[in-house]
Structure 1
Amino acid sequence: MDPIAVAGLAGTALVGAMATDAWQHARDGVVALWRRVHPERAGEVEEDLTRLHTLVGDGRGSADVGEAMVRLWQVRLGDLLLADAALTAELTDRLARLTDEIAAGAAASDGQTIGSQHLEAHAADGGRIYQAGRDLNIAEH
């Protein structure tokens, strides 16, 4: 699997898990990856994740902050996966498994699925398209 695609999914799942019971497992898994590649920076990563979790837990994280955190962790995880060419495939597989575990844990704790979606639609002749990743309510008068 493409390391950048895995990093994208993992960043989304990690931030999504911050407000769920899956958080501890997610944090520990990400820190373990850093310990493997950059042990000298694992403590810093753990502190960053704890600080961000506190921000989300305190309700101070807006939707914009959440989106910024997703992008930040997608980049950080992507950099980690590409840091050592000899380990890239192994780390990509480990991160993909961790992402699946995070999503499963988060879904079990709050009934929601964490991940990404691709929606595509084409309208013609004045047709209407309504798409949603989850709930959609339409009131036409």
Structure 2
Amino acid sequence: MDAEITLLAGTAGTTIATLLATDMWNGVRNGVLALWGRVRPDDQERVATQLDTSRRDLLDAQADGDEEAEGEVAAEWRGRIRRLLVAHPELAAELRSLLTELAPGALTPVTVTQRATASGSSRVYQAGRDLNIDQR
């Protein structure tokens, strides 16, 4: 479940950071606050402040041409969401629903198709991710 939580938190953090600087920011804010409020209602005001600060940071960064800011905000929200899900894994289904509502393609798995043809004594190496080759 830990890898699943990490992956879900990563998607959520990126989605939150991306949408906070758009017209959808109110929906993101309300959805995140509702999620938090289910298990930590006393933290809602603090989380609301963090969301508002993240939005201002993103808008300022866009105005200044700072392309790294979105990644930094996404990393902050990945961590916050991951810690929330570790403490309350029962929120995972609700978070998935929120992400599907806000960004329908966010949870769609990516399909990779690879084709290769080798002839003679040639070799083909393909990988969908990491590939280590030790030729001795």
TM-score, length of structure 2 as denominator length: 0.69
Alpha-carbon RMSD: 2.8
> Residues 63 and 23 (structure 1 numbering): CA distance in 2 closer, same or farther, change over 3 Å?
same
**In structure 1, which of residues 44, 48, 51 is the aligned counterpart of residue 50 of structure 2?**
48
Q: Which runs of 5+ in 2 are unaligned?
A: 123-136
- AA aligned opposite 1:27: R
Q: Deviations over 1:51-97 (max 9, x none)?
A: 1112222324722221111111011001001113xxx13x1011011
> Residues 64 and 81 (structure 1 numbering): CA distance in 2 closer, same or farther, change over 3 Å?
same
Q: Which runs of 5+ in 1 are unaligned?
A: 105-112, 126-141
Q: Map of 1:9-48 to 2, 5 A cutoff?
A: 9-48=11-50
Task: Indicate the structure whose relative CO is greater, using CA pairs within 8 Å and at least 6 residues apart.
Answer: 1
**In structure 2, which of residues 52, 59, 66 is the aligned counterpart of residue 62 of structure 1?**
66
Tell me, in whole angstroms, the C-alpha distance in 2 between the residues paired with 1:61 and 1:95.
Answer: 31
> Residues 14 and 119 (structure 1 numbering): CA distance in 2 closer, same or farther, change over 3 Å?
farther
Is the 8 Å Cα contact of residues 16 and 114 (structure 1) preserved in structure 2? no
State the aligned residue count. 114
Give the equivalent residue in structure 2 for 1:81.
Answer: 85
Is the 8 Å Cα contact of residues 100 and 106 (structure 2) preserved in structure 1? no
Is the 8 Å Cα contact of residues 55 and 61 (structure 1) preserved in structure 2? no
- AA aligned opposite 1:30: V
Give the equivalent residue in structure 1 for 2:9.
Answer: 7
Tell me, in whole angstroms, the C-alpha distance in 2 between the residues paired with 1:118 and 1:60.
Answer: 36
Tell me, in whole angstroms, the C-alpha distance in 2 between the residues paired with 1:35 and 1:54.
Answer: 23
Give the equivalent residue in structure 2 for 1:110.
Answer: none
SS at match of 2:21: coil
SS at match of 1:63: coil
TM-score, length of structure 1 as denominator length: 0.67
Point out 4+ residue stretches in structure 1 off by more than 3 angstroms.
Answer: 113-121
